[in-house]
Amino acid sequence: MSKLAQDIIIKPVISEKSSYDTAIGKYTFQVARTATKTDIRKAVEQLFGVKVVSVNTVNYDGKKKRQRYVEGTTPAYKKAVVTIDMEAKEVSYLGKGGKSTKADKKYKTAIEEFGIGQ
């Protein structure tokens, strides 16, 4: 069963720390609890058109809350910190016959849709 990218990335997490981290290429998202790091990498690359360097995930359990006599818990969630490639330099490699070939990187170096002014 394949997962859609829209089902994996739920919403961006916008906090003071995450807004500072966007300057160095780290973006924080709330993701589906069943998503793996590979799923998150593919979803971010597909949705935003960037090159993902690394993905770090954290599982949060729900906290116990109480209102008067009723006890309950807040929902559990999974958070992913995605580091993207910020340098869009040309890549050169040796092709057939030992010729040097250059390739342009065809991806963006920032996620403008994240909701933070850069």
> Could you write out the three-class secondary structure of 24-90?
HCEEEEEECCCCCHHHHHHHHHHHHCECEEEEEEEEECCCEEEECCEEEECCCEEEEEEEECCCCCC
Q: Whats the size of the chain, residue-wise?
A: 118
Residue 115 forms part of a structural domain:
no
- pLDDT of residue 99 exceeding 50, the answer is yes
Q: Is residue 87 part of a domain?
A: yes
CATH of the domain at 33: 3.30.70.330
Residue 74: which domain range?
Answer: 5-106
Identity of the amino acid at 98 = G
Structural domain includes residue 111: no
Number of structural domains in the chain: 1
Going by pLDDT thresholds of 50, 70 and 90, the confidence category of residue 1 is very low
Put simply, whether the predicted model's pTM sits higher than 0.85 gets the answer no
Considering the domain boundaries, does residue 116 fall inside one? Answer: no
Q: What is the pLDDT of residues 10-61, one digit of tens each?
A: 999 999 999 999 999 999 999 999 999 999 999 999 999 899 999 999 999 9
Alpha-carbon separation of residue 111 from 25, 59, 68, 77 (angstroms): 9, 24, 43, 23
Task: Report yes or no on 94 lying in a domain.
Answer: yes
Assigned domain for 99 exists: yes
Q: Do 25 and 83 form a contact (C-beta atoms < 8 A)? A: yes
Residue 117 lies in a domain: no
